[in-house]
Each structure stands twice: as C-alpha cells, then as structure tokens.
Structure 1
Amino acid sequence: MTRSGEQLHRSARLRGTGGGDAAERDFDVVIVSDLMLPGGTTVSNVSEIRLLAASGKRVGLFHHPRRDYDPPRPINPKVQELVDGRDVAWVEPDAKVACDLLLMRFPPFASRLGGELPCIDAKRKLLVVNQTPLTHYDTEERGAEVWDVAGVHANLSEWIGDHEWIAAGPRVRDALLTHHAGAMRGVTLADWYWYPIIDTADLPTRPDRAASRPVRIGRHSRDDITKWPASADTLRSCYPADSAFEVHVLGGAVAPRRILGGLPANWTVHPFDALTPGQFLPGLDFFVYYPEPSMLEAFGMAPAEAMAAGVPTVLPPIFEPLFGEGALYAEPGRVRSLLLELADDPERYAQAQRRGPAVIRERFGCDAHRARFAAMGVAL
C-alpha cells in the first residue's frame, strides 16, 4: 500500500467510518492527555476524573505522551491511583469506544500522534487549550514554539474529525486570536472558557489569624525560569530579602538562585511535591506570584489554590481579568509596601482572606464545572 493509501486507511479506521461496528465499550467521558506530566495539566485531569466518578459517570482514559520527551516518564501516580477498571478505566490503543464527550487537554500531545490510536465515537469533541503555542510573547522577540496550531488541528482532525477548541483562560484565547490568527482559520474556538476545577474542599483553610512577624510570604510552582521574574531587581522587589519577611518556596529554587546569584538568608526552599499545597499554604500570611511577564500563564493554578485556602494573594495586574476581587494586584515596586500595609491592618487583611475563597468557589468551584460539563451534554 502506498503512503497516501496507508494514511487514508488509517483515517477511515480511526474515525470509525470503515466498518460501522458498535463500540466495544461505552463511557460518559473519555479524557485524552499526556498523563505523565507533573504540573497543572495533571491537577486538572485528576480533578475532573474525581468529579465525574463521584457523580456516577464512567470515565475512559487514553494516555498519549508527547513524543519529544526522552526518555519517557511513567504515568503520574496521581492519575494511576484513580483507575479501578470499572468507573475509571484505560482505553487501549486498539479499542473502539463511544462516549458523550471526548475531552482532550494539553495540545502538545497532538503535535505528533502515535501510529495506533483508539477509534472514539463521541457526540461532542473538545480540545482544552491550556498552553500557548509559544513560550512567551513580547514586542521584541517571539518565544520558542511549543506546539504548532495548524499541525495540531490537522492531526486531530485526521484522527477524530470535526472538533472544537476551548481556552483554559482569557490570556490563552487572546494569544490564539492575536498572535496566531492565520493558523486559527478553520478552527472552531469557543467564546467561553474551560477553567480548571479548584475544589476548596481539598484545601485546608488558613487559620483566621493576623499576619505573623516577620511576615511569611510564599509561593509554589515548578522550578522553571518562566515561573519567576526575569530580572534580579524585580525578583528582589517581589520577594524582599530583609528581616521584615520570611520567604517560603515550594517546588525548588534553581531558577531564582541563578537569577540572583544565590539565595537570600531569609528563604526556605522545599523540593517539588515535598509538601502538598494543603500542607504548605495554611502556614503563609501572603501568597506572592510573579512569573516572567512575557510568558502567558494559561491559567494560574498555584495562585488560585492559595486564594481557595484563604491566603491573601498578591499578583501582577495582568491576572485581574481572571481573578477579579479574589486577589490583590500591584506592580513589583509596590509589593513590599502593600504587604506591610495589609499586615498592619487586620480588617483589610481579614477581608482579603474572605474574598479569595468566595471568588474561587463562584468561578472555579465544582458547581461551576458541573455547569460546563452540562453545556457539553454531560449532566452531573
């Protein structure tokens, strides 16, 4: 068979148009993603699996790793432990399945699809775009390409046919429409957002107490250069190295050590996953999160978790359209004075503690996500 013939045969087989046989297994939702990732993608997948299973829905999981990882990593144990073979089951590469919703997350997985893929007959097909195609966007230089819009769309169209894209937040959608308008022609992009679930029940709340002295500020994230301010001056402004503060970091600090030439004496650093967010966050007085400004954060899971735990959260103003009154916003040069002002004003501090969980429940809680699933034909 010629190469073009092989492709046509493969396309017909994968879309289920070749024989019309009934599906071997039925699910309410099939989730397709790179299930070995350590960060926010896995947090989102795990939260949805739990919500669906708790609502009595059958969930199928198909693991499709990025093909550019060398060596490949094992499936994340947070996903693996949810698979019971009954309510949550693996979909094998040669399977034929049917579902109400095919939910794909993390576009880079589709940059290069594997040779053997399941045939998925889905009523609705949705790709959650939770990472921008480029590493960063600024006026002087385009970032490195993480995934190609046209390539991913073509690969998924060949595999599962017509499908819809939906951004994980406003900054991702804006990037697609502003910086990739040509490649987005032919892509159906939703005008609403598939936000991650932030389950406030999973996070212990910070005790209702005044700020400590010294003030305990902290943050958690992967130890990646894009998760920190680009300049040493900005980093020092956001995380002051003086005796009025303690700085607590969960996730490692190789990147800030490189930027600063060493870590200040008032820093305490924990490796990635050494503590859960629920163990780490209640001990903080403030959560301060300032990533590299040209890097378009798809959502902001770490600050959202801090708000959910009742930790007053200070962010750059670019996050305000996403989190609204749930956080406090300041340019880097204003962070230190804002922290001290709130620490010295118990009433404002208590208000900030209350606003965060309220906004997270309203915008990103389980009830809000049930409504998103209902809009896609899956009533929970």
Structure 2
Amino acid sequence: MTGVAWNVGWPAPAAARRLSGVRRRPRVALLVEPRFPGGTSGAVAAEIRALAPHVNLSVMALATSMFRDRPVHPEIARALDDAGLSLRPAPPVVRADAIVLHNPSALKFETALAPRLSAARTIVVTHENFTRPGGHEGFDVGHCLGLVAGRIAGGDRLLAPVSAANRRTVADWLTARAEPGWTLAGGDWPNILDPAFVAPTDRPRDRRGRHSRPGPEKFPGLAALRAQFPPHAERCAILGADAFLADREAVPGHWELLPFGTMPVAEFLAGIDFLVHFTNPLWRESFGRAIAEAIIAGKLVITDPDTAASFGPGVIGDDGRGVDAIVARHVADPVRYAATVRRAQADLARHRPEAVVPRLLALLDPQPEARRHAAL
C-alpha cells in the first residue's frame, strides 16, 4: 500500500487551542476492508456518518485477498460522500489517538498487515463471532489478531464486541487461548441505526420472507427451509437466493427467488409480514442487520434464540420447528402482532446515533479531560 496524506485536518496547535478555548477533538482512524458485502459495511457506513461530527475522522482501506476485484460497498461510498470524507489507502504508518480496525476476519488469507499502527488505543471491532456453536473457531482468530498485534506500536489493545451474543464468543475464545496483550472492552461497539420506524400492519397475512447475502452459512439446510417456507403460506420470498437459482429444480416451485442486491431491501420487506431468519446450525449472526431492517420496516421477526436475545422479547426466538404455529397465532391476532413488532421497535431505539455515539466516544477517548490538559 502507498503512503497518503490524512484526509481531514489535524487539531490546532496547543497555543491556539489555549487561546481559543476549543476542546481538542480526538483523532480517529477507521481501518476497514470496504468491500464486505453484508452487515459489516452497513455498520461502518452508519458509524462514519455518526462519528464524523464529533472526531477528526480518517477512513482508510485495507485491500485484502478476501474481496479481490470487488468494488467498494455503495453504502460506505455514500456515507463518505455525506461526511465529506475520502477513502484512502492505508499509509505505511497510521497515527491517531485511536485506531479502529473493523472485522479482523478480513485478514484470514493475509500473511502480513502492511501499515504500522501508532495510537494510544487500538480497538478491533469483532463483527464476526470468534467461536461457533459447539465451540469451534469461526475463523483463524489467532492468526488475524496476531497480524494486527505485530504492527501495533504500544498503547491499549481492545477487542470490542458488537452485541452481547458476540461478546460471549470473544470472551470464550480469550479464556480458552489466554491470548496475551488483548483486553475485552468494558463496553460493546453497537451497530448504529437511525430508524424511521414503519408502523406494523393491522391486517397481517401469512407472507414470509428472508434476505441476506448468499453465503452458505446464512441458510439452514434445505429440509428446514422447506418447513419454514411451506406451500400453504400465501407468499414465500427469498432475497439473496443465488445458490438456489443455480439449481432451481432442487427447490420448491412456490418459492420466489431473487438474487442478492437485485431489489432494495425496503421494497422487498414491504411485500412480507414475517421475516423468518435462520442460519446454518453451525453458524450464528453476531448481530443481524437484516433483522434490524425488518424491525424498522414494521415486520415480525422469527429467528433462533441466541440471535433473538440481541434484540429483546419483540423478536421471537424458536428452534425453527415452531414457525408455522407462530405465524398462525399472530395472523389470527393482529393486536398481538402489532404489539410484538412495536416492542421490538422500542428496544431497537437504543441503537439510535444519539444513544450509541456517547458510548463509542468513551471507548475511543476514555479520559478526554486528562488528555485535553496534557495537550495544553
């Protein structure tokens, strides 16, 4: 990677700050693989918009082998435009008060991390679960974190989970590995959402759907999907069904199959009343922005209990075998349907920028007053 200039201004010299009385804004560098096709990019995009007014923000790209020849995710590109920032390649040395490296799993095919990292605090946001159901590693965590650790020039090293469920996997991995140098952050690094909630329908119908990127980990087995999307449902739609489209004869004819990215998510969700979201039994969502999007759109969500727990009781947890009964119960009781969706929406409000940003700033700059006086 080539060296580049920072894309935002540095804080004023100490003397000027003393005269002006302006509080020093922390310098924050986001280091991210900007081509992730799923929730990581959505989370980073929201973070760029939310943090830019509060910190001197720089966004730097890691070019990894995982997403060779893929374009920058459009949500990240739009967020940078909105914030008046540019995406730059990482320079030989990244210097900031805090460096935030998103989703270390992007490094799993790399043999080295190019830039050196110089900051008072380096935070690795653990978008992917470190362990899977059964305790196996979700990816080669030790390798990825080792690449990062080997390039850090002092300061704190924190692992910041994106949810309570994600935190459990990180804590389990740290306990099992006794990895030196890394500390589990005291607070999570939540996804930021700025929802304009859609009111739930007062006439729910048995219209089921799910959407996600088309990775095999995102879907349960075909037998489970057949039960969750049966012929007697009024509608069964899957956005991100690329693998099923490749072998259309192997799946039920009543399924409406759409390739990933061919329809705006909001438009897709407008045509269903129930999001039925189960993954491969050996894999779990660390948060689930697809679920959050459905809640915002006023839909009732049914998913596995671990994933549901990240959203509260307004999202229904099930092992996948009770989907028919749950749908029927809520179609027959529209008041119950609406109350469940509104509960989920009320719980999701804790992800609004005004609720999340103060928590992120506390992780980025835990002692702002002390740092301010030291800089004067």
The 8 Å contact of residues 66 and 106 in structure 2, kept in 1 or not, is answered as no
Provide the TM-score with structure 1 as the length reference. 0.79
1:175-254 mapped onto 2 (5 Å cutoff): 175-179=169-173, 181-186=175-180, 187-201=182-196, 205=198, 208-212=201-205, 215-230=206-221, 232-242=222-232, 244-254=233-243
Match of 1:164, SS state, is strand
Mapped contact 1:36–1:74 kept (Cα < 8 A):
yes
Indicate the residue corresponding to 2:283 in structure 1.
295
**1:138 maps to which of 131, 134, 147:** 134
Deviation, structure 1 residue 250: 1.3
TM-score, structure 2 as length reference: 0.80
Distance (Å, rounded) in 2 between the aligned partners of 1:78 and 1:316 = 28
Question: What is the CA–CA distance in structure 2 between the aligned matches of 1:170 and 1:351, rounded to whole Å?
Answer: 25
Is 1:332 the counterpart of 2:331 in the alignment?
A: no
2:60 touches 2:87 (CA, 8 Å); kept in 1? yes
Tell me, in whole angstroms, the C-alpha distance in 1 between the residues paired with 2:326 and 2:314. Answer: 16
Question: CA 1:24–1:261 in structure 2 vs 1: closer, same or farther (change >3 Å)?
Answer: closer
Deviation of 1:77 after TM superposition, in Å, equals 3.0
Q: Structure 2 CA distance, aligned partners of 1:75 and 1:285?
A: 32
In structure 2, C-alpha distance between the alignment counterparts of 1:292 and 1:263, rounded to whole Å: 17
| Candidates 163, 172, 175, aligned match of 1:169 | 163
In structure 2, what is the Cα distance between the partners aligned to 1:254 and 1:289?
A: 17
Match of 1:62 among 60, 63, 73: 60
Equivalent position of 1:9 in the other structure: none
Deviation at 1:252, TM superposition (A): 2.0
CA shift in 2, pair 1:234/1:110, >3 Å = closer
Cα displacement string for residues 293-321 of structure 1 (whole angstroms, at most 9, x for unaligned residues): 22032111111211122211111222243
Partner of 2:38: 39
Per the TM alignment, residue 192 of structure 1 is displaced from its structure 2 partner at its CA by 3.1
Match of residue 17 from structure 1:
none
Distance 1:115 1:227, change over 3 A: closer
Residue 374 of structure 1 corresponds to which residue in structure 2? 361
Partner of 2:80: 83
User: Counterpart of 1:159?
Assistant: 151
Unaligned 5+ residue runs, structure 1? 1-13, 15-21
Letter in 2 for 1:240: P
Relative to 1, partners in 2 of residues 1:68 and 1:217: Cα closer, same or farther, differing over 3 Å?
A: closer
Residues 307/168 of structure 1: CA separation in 2 closer, same or farther (3 Å cut): same
CA–CA distance in 2 between the matches of 1:190 and 1:272? Answer: 34
Task: Name the CA shift for 1:312/1:85 in 2 (closer, same or farther; >3 Å).
Answer: closer
The CA distance in 2 between the partners of 1:315 and 1:155, in whole Å, is: 35
Q: Look up the SS of the partner of 1:181 in the other structure.
A: helix
Distance 1:99 1:342, change over 3 A: same
Q: CA deviation at 1:345?
A: 0.6
- 1:60 alignment partner AA: S
